[in-house]
Amino acid sequence: AMLRPFGQCCCASQVGADVRLPDDRLDPEGRNFLATEAPVVRKRLRVPADFRFRSVESASLPGAQSYQVVTAQQEAQEMVRLQRIMRDFVKDLLSGVYMDAVFEDGALLPCKCVVDIQLTVLVLQVETSVKTIDLPSIREICPGHDLQGMRMETPVDSLCATLVTSADHCVTFKFADGRACDHFVTCMRLLRLAMD
Distances (CA, A) of 55 to 71, 85, 136, 182, 193: 16, 17, 24, 12, 17
Nearest Cα to Cα of residue 21 among 37, 35, 6: 35
* Residues linked to residue 172 through DSSP beta bridges, in sequence order: 162
Higher pLDDT, 115 or 61: 115
pTM summary value:
0.72
Determine the pLDDT at residue 46: 84
Give dist(CA 119, CA 111) in Å, integer.
18
Give dist(CA 176, CA 168) in Å, integer.
26
| pLDDT, tens digit, 9 for 90 and up, residues 103-128 | 988 899 999 999 999 999 999 999 99
